[in-house]
């Protein structure tokens, strides 16, 4: 009997896992990949959309183009997961799995930050980035806050990138002198595992007059007064709020009984959950690595290698090492890179490469290689 693989979520983790299984097992693979949306969008494309560097249409990668032998893509909303029975219910059907992989990412908890939904804006969802794209042209003077409402959050450098790109956006329009930019973050430094990256970002902030407010998160907004309230009670006035909402696993995961403290606990070496033949990869899991696409992809590679070895014989893969490289937009058309290693040593480490034009091309290649691999583009 063919093994029935059911992969929940077609983000970085789900796409890479389905691709690897398809490559190894071919048209007999028996993979069902389920996602409720009709297109994939890279996380960093939200910054491009928000600042008008690309249109929403340009950054969409339709799942209709994800065509792989042995993979069936279903656009369905998952409404229940029974990890004991490995049974998944959607708005359209019930799917039984021999191997279940949960790759549903992290969702946003707007209610956790009173005032955010009514009086703030966020740039972490496609819709939020599109809304800000429409609003930014009318921001011509006053105080802008890039504010993080809770940790962990996806792509730790992204709020710093947003502040630097906002500086460029306002400078290009001749408005920078009329505006102040503050960045509120619940870390002591912009990228804690890499002191060199943090130092370079702090220098870039200082050169551009961007205020960095460390060790604080935005706990509520008072839209009537135009004030962001921080977790120590301090108040920061704002005219424009660019928010990073508090994150949590999607409701369907929280309701499945798989999660603990908001996310799915896994053995970080193998990505196995406590349920037999059920794995969790990427942002939805507690692995001990940041929430970023490169880590979701790396975890998917380990799960794929393990499943292929189980089916075809051969050695199990080495333990997941939690390594990944992130590109960091510094503004002014420059991109830096940080290589982080979260699991192989006693504590996380990071190595920084100075922003350069070569890294701009490397970041483009990072996106282009995934577009080609997953979407034949
Ligand atoms: C502004 C920004 C910049 C970023 N920059 C980078 C970067 O430069 N590099 C990097 O590596 N990462 C970056 N990230 C982070 C990256 O986008 C995420 O960490 C990554 O997408 C996580 O991959 P995943 O597979 O775990 O989950 P996701 O990619 O979030 O995929 C989860 C999928 O599950 C689907 N889903 C959820 N619930 C349901 C349901 N009930 N039914 C059906 N489908 C469902 C969703 O539609 C989604 O497609 C950035 C993120 C943001 C917001």
**Tens digit of pLDDT for each residue in 1-24?**
789 999 999 999 999 999 999 999
Cis peptide before 152 (omega within 30 of 0): yes
With CA atoms as reference, report the closest residue to 275 among 290, 291, 260, 292: 260
pLDDT of residue 234: 98
Mean pLDDT of the chain: 97
Of ligand 1's listed atoms, the one at least distance from the Cα of 104 is 34
Q: What are the tokens at 8?
A: 């929940």
With CA atoms as reference, report the closest residue to 205 among 159, 151, 149: 159
Confidence class of residue 248 from pLDDT cuts 50, 70 and 90? Answer: very high
Tell if the pTM clears 0.95, that is, is over it.
yes
pLDDT for residue 337 is more than 90: yes
Report whether 334 contacts 327 (CB < 8 A).
Answer: no
Query: Mean pLDDT, to the nearest integer, of 259-288?
Result: 97
- Note the residue count of the chain: 377
The residue extents of the domains of the chain are 5-106+249-312, 113-246
Cα 27 to averaged position of ligand 1 atoms, centre (Å)? 27
pLDDT for residue 36 is more than 90: yes
Cα 293 to averaged position of ligand 1 atoms, centre (Å)? 7
Query: Mean pLDDT, to the nearest integer, of 143-156?
Result: 97
The class that CATH gives domain 5-106+249-312 is alpha beta
Q: What are the tokens at 320?
A: 């997941």
Q: What are the tokens at 67?
A: 């065509």
CA distance 144 to 51: 14
CA distance 57 to 54: 8
pLDDT for residue 252 is more than 90: yes
State pLDDT tens for residues 277-308.
999 999 999 999 999 999 999 999 999 999 99
Q: Which residues line ligand 1 (CB under 6 A)?
A: 9-14, 34-37, 43-44, 46-47, 77-78, 103-105, 124, 154-155, 158, 250, 252, 282-283, 291-294, 296, 326-327
Fold of 113-246: FAD/NAD(P)-binding domain (3.50.50)
Domains 5-106+249-312 and 113-246 share a fold: yes
């Amino acid at each position: 009997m063919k093994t029935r693989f059911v992969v929940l979520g077609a983000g970085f983790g789900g796409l890479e896992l389905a691709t690897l299984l398809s490559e190894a097992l071919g048209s007999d693979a028996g993979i069902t990949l389920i996602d409720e949306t009709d297109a994939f969008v890279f996380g960093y494309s939200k910054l491009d959309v928000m600042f008008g560097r690309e249109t929403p249409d340009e950054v969409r990668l339709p799942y209709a183009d994800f065509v792989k032998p042995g993979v069936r893509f279903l656009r369905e909303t998952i409404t229940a997961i029974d990890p004991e029975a490995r049974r998944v219910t959607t708005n359209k059907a019930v799917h039984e799995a021999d191997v279940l992989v949960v790759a549903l990412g992290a969702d946003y908890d707007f209610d956790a930050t009173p005032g955010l939904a009514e009086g703030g804006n966020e740039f972490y969802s496609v819709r939020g980035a599109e809304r800000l794209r429409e609003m930014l042209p009318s921001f011509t003077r006053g105080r802008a806050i890039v504010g993080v409402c809770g940790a962990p959050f996806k792509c730790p450098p992204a709020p710093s990138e947003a502040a630097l790109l906002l500086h460029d956006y306002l400078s290009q329009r001749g408005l920078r002198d009329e505006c102040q930019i503050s960045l509120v973050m619940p870390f002591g430094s912009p990228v804690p595992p890499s002191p060199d990256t943090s130092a370079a970002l702090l220098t870039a902030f200082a050169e551009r007059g961007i205020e960095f407010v460390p060790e604080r998160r935005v706990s509520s907004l008072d839209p009537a007064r135009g004030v962001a309230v921080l977790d120590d009670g301090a108040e920061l006035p704002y005219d424009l709020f660019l928010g990073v909402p508090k994150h949590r696993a999607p409701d369907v995961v929280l309701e499945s009984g798989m999660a603990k403290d908001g996310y799915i606990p896994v053995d970080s070496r193998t990505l196995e959950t406590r349920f037999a033949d059920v794995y969790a990869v990427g942002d939805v899991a507690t692995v001990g690595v940041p929430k970023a696409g490169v880590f979701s992809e790396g975890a998917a590679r380990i799960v794929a290698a393990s499943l292929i070895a189980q089916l075809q014989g051969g050695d199990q893969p080495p333990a997941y090492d939690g390594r990944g490289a992130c590109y960091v937009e510094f503004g002014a058309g420059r991109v830096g890179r940080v290589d982080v290693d979260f699991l192989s040593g006693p504590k996380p480490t990071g190595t920084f490469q100075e922003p350069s034009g070569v890294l701009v091309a490397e970041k483009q290649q990072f996106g282009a290689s995934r577009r080609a691999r997953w979407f034949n583009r």
